[in-house]
């Protein structure tokens, strides 16, 4: 017995020592903030997280705002190739937070991964000026050139820089700026919609500044210094992260993951096929085959949580075609603007500055909608159903693309004139670029209505343990929309032998591309309208039934002390609405 007692005492001492080591970082963080009151500390954390988010968006928008002009003029790409590169970069930047979040969850430590992502982003933003810089203009003396990059070398460096920058973007969004940093656990649907509206409002205000400033610098005489601005902005983000790294990077605590969700779905499909082959059907829901009670390998809680998520898959699916329409701003609309008359009172407007017109509706509508919701509806009422906003927004997107087709026909009726962009003389239509304003406004209205509402439904209509997973799936489907947009452009160009997405717009039929996409979007809107009733009611009783009867739901609500220490996959980063630019 004494030996056994001694052994028990050693084990208890070891456990206590381990527990003290695990609590030590938290205690140090608490002592570090001991001189600051709790409200001030939360305010500092919120400000720092928001600053990092805005700096990251600043670098992102700065990279892509004139990418088509850079690819066509500097790298010699055709229009459809430049549009595909731009859309693929935007889509990759949407998908990398999911990948990095999984790496931080399963394979690599969060602090180490943050450092790696910071380095990758720094490397990417530093290499872009190398591609854009005019080495041929620098001489050692009057006879010798210092250095010249061939087209092939420029393209290799350019693609490598975009890849590393997108990986860095994923790390910042997934680890440094997760949704848990904003403490939304206790918010109701009305507060959540208000949060998403104002968050996107700030992000788009930031993007408007980028489009006006960076696009002009890149397009003017100092255009080759334009890519240095994302580099400087990234330095600001690194400094901000360094100042608050002890407050923002936390030890993860997970109770759900993407791998578990995919595992449930794959296990259910496997068991479902086996049962239909040998025993026939019998269960009301195909996902029940993944439960341990029916021969699967997952608990009832995991399967029921996955059920609540799969009910949102139709909502996610109808966002793919909508995202393809949104991606026309950095592709088809950009090309229309670039081939229109940009002169205004003796001043040449930057091409990307027209994107500000699509941001204005969001900057105007958000305060108006917030005023309506706060004055006309009680705190328990969510106001109009978010599905109404989504249907109206998708219809506005379809109308925008259709108007773009008519604008293209109208643009061709004007005589052609010479216009200088990035020291290249282009033959463009004499139609003023402001004639394209209606299509930008309609697409901006669509973004103001659709994106916050989709974020609300994705976040609210699942159990708390699945909210981050749900936001990740919304991100995955939005990223798929970007890649589908690139595939659609490639298919339209190849199928029409270059006519539907031409290199010279006045010789092609770009309007047919827009009309076909608008017809698809109209069908998509009608399809979503037929299933919108599934997501109409957001009251607490309905969502409790919608989320299914989960054994752990009540326990999770009773144990809400863990708010800020959620994992990457439990609290997903917020998706920017205008990742389209």
Residues written for the chain:
581
Q: Would you give the distance in Å from CA 203 to the centre of its chain?
A: 11
For residue 259, pLDDT over 70 is answered with: yes
Burial of 541 by CB count in 10 Å (0-12 exposed, 13-18 middle, 19+ buried)? exposed
Q: Token digits for 261? A: 């969700």
Residue linked to tokens 């190398």: 130
pLDDT band at 134 (very low <50, low <70, confident <90, very high): low
Which of 59, 110, 113 has its CA nearest to residue 89?
59
**pLDDT exceeding 70 applies to what percent of the chain?**
68
Provide mean pLDDT across the span 337-360. 83
Least confident of 110-114, 401-405, 482-486, 559-563: 559-563
Alpha-carbon distance of 224 to 571, in angstroms, equals: 39
| 547/462 Cα distance (integer angstroms) | 5
Closest CA to 44 of 183, 238, 201, 247: 247
Q: What DSSP assignment string belongs to 440-451?
A: HHHHHHHHHHHH
pLDDT tens figures, 289-304: 777 777 777 777 778 8
pTM of the predicted model as reported, rounded to 2 decimal places: 0.79
Strands of 250-344, DSSP E: 343-344
Q: Evaluate if residue 89 carries a pLDDT over 70.
A: yes
Residue found by looking up tokens 């109308």 in the block: 399
Q: Which of 392, 402, 403 is nearest to 528 (CA)?
A: 392
State how far Cα 411 lies from the chain centre: 32
| pLDDT, tens digit, 9 for 90 and up, residues 395-427 | 999 999 999 999 999 998 888 888 877 677 888
CB count in 10 Å sphere of residue 14: 10
Q: Are strands 416-421 and 424-429 parallel, antiparallel or unpaired?
A: antiparallel
Q: Are 246 and 111 in contact (CB under 8 A)?
A: no
Under 8 Å between Cβ of 230 and 128: yes
132 vs 473, residue with greater confidence: 473
Tell me: pLDDT of 333 over 80: yes
Residue that the structure tokens 């210094």 belong to: 225
Instruction: Give the C-alpha distances (Å, rounded to integers) separating 99 from 104, 240, 293, 330, 459.
Output: 9, 24, 32, 25, 20
| 425 secondary structure, DSSP code | E
In 429-441, which positions are buried (b, 16+ CB within 10 angstroms) versus exposed (e)? Answer: bebbbbbbbbbbb
CA distances from 528 to 534, 569, 580 (A): 10, 28, 22
- Residue 154, pLDDT above cutoff 90: no
Highest mean pLDDT among 286-290, 347-351, 359-363, 398-402: 398-402
Strand-pair partners of 417: 428
Whether 491 contacts 110, CB under 8 Å = no
Q: Are 453 and 192 in contact (CB under 8 A)?
A: no
Q: For 353-430, list the strands marked E by DSSP.
A: 416-421, 424-429
pLDDT of residue 337 exceeding 50: yes
pLDDT > 90 in the chain, percent: 17
Burial 221-253 (b: 16+ CB within 10 A, else e): eebbebbbbbbebbebbbebbeebeebbbbebe
The top-scoring range by mean pLDDT among 436-445, 500-509, 546-555 is 436-445
Q: What is the pLDDT of residues 449-465, one digit of tens each?
A: 998 889 888 888 888 77
β-sheet bridge partners, residue 573: 178
What is the number of other CB atoms lying within 10 angstroms of the CB of residue 299?
Answer: 17
pLDDT of 406 reads 94
Q: Cα-atom radius of gyration of the chain, to the nearest Å?
A: 26
- Rounded distance, CA 163 to CA 161, Å? 5
577 vs 465, residue with greater confidence: 465
Give Cβ neighbours of residue 166 (< 8 Å, ≥ 6 apart): 89, 92, 93, 96, 124
Per-residue model confidence (pLDDT) at position 22: 40
**Res 515: pLDDT:** 94
């Amino acid at each position: 017995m004494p030996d056994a007692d001694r052994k028990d005492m050693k084990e208890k001492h070891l456990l206590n020592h381990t527990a003290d080591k695990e609590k030590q970082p938290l205690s140090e963080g608490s002592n570090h903030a001991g001189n600051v009151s709790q409200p001030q500390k939360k305010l500092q954390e919120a400000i720092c997280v928001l600053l990092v988010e805005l700096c990251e968006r600043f670098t992102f928008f700065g990279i892509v705002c004139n990418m088509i002009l850079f690819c066509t003029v500097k790298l010699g790409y055709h229009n459809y190739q430049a549009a595909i590169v731009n859309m693929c970069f935007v889509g990759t930047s949407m998908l990398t937070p999911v990948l990095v979040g999984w790496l931080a969850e399963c394979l690599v430590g969060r602090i180490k991964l943050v450092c790696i992502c910071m380095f990758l982003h720094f490397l990417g933003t530093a290499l872009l000026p190398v591609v854009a810089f005019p080495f041929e203009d620098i001489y050692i003396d009057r006879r010798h050139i210092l250095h010249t990059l061939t087209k092939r070398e420029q393209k290799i460096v350019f693609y490598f820089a975009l890849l590393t920058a997108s990986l860095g973007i994923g790390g910042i969004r997934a680890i440094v700026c997760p949704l848990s940093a904003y403490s939304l656990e206790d918010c109701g649907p009305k507060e959540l919609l208000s949060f998403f509206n104002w968050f996107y409002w700030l992000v788009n205000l930031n993007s408007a500044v980028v489009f006006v400033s960076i696009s002009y610098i890149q397009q003017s005489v100092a255009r080759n210094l334009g890519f240095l601005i994302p580099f400087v902005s990234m330095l600001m983000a690194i400094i901000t992260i360094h100042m608050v790294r002890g407050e923002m990077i936390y030890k993860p605590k997970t109770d759900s993951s993407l791998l578990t969700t995919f595992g449930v779905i794959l296990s259910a499909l496997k068991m479902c096929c086996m049962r239909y082959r040998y025993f026939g059907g019998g269960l009301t829901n195909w996902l029940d085959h993944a439960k341990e009670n029916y021969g699967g390998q997952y608990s009832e809680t995991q399967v029921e949580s996955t059920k609540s998520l799969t009910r949102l898959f139709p909502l996610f699916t109808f966002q793919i075609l909508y995202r393809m329409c949104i991606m026309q701003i950095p592709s088809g609309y950009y090309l229309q603007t670039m081939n229109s008359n940009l002169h205004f009172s003796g001043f040449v407007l930057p091409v990307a500055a027209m994107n500000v017109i699509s941001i204005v509706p969001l900057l105007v509508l958000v305060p108006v909608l917030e005023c309506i919701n706060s004055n006309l509806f009680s705190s328990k009422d969510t106001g109009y159903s978010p599905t109404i906003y989504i249907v109206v927004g998708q219809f506005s997107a379809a109308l925008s693309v259709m108007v773009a087709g008519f604008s293209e026909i109208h643009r061709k009726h004007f005589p052609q004139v010479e216009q200088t962009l990035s020291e290249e003389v282009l033959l463009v239509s004499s139609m003023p670029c402001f004639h394209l304003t209606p299509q930008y406004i309609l697409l901006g209205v669509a973004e103001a209505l659709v994106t916050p509402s989709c974020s609300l439904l994705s976040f609210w209509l699942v159990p708390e343990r699945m909210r981050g997973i749900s936001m990740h799936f919304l991100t995955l489907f939005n990223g798929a929309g970007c890649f589908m947009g690139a595939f659609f452009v490639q298919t339209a160009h190849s199928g029409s032998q270059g006519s539907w997405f031409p290199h010279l717009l006045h010789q092609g039929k770009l309007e047919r591309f827009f009309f076909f996409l608008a017809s698809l979007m109209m069908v998509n809107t009608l399809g979503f309208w037929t299933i919108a009733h599934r997501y109409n009611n957001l009251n607490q009783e309905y969502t409790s039934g919608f989320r299914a009867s989960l054994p752990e739901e009540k326990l999770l609500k009773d144990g809400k002390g863990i708010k800020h220490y959620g994992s990457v996959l439990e609290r997903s980063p917020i998706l920017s609405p205008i990742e389209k630019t």
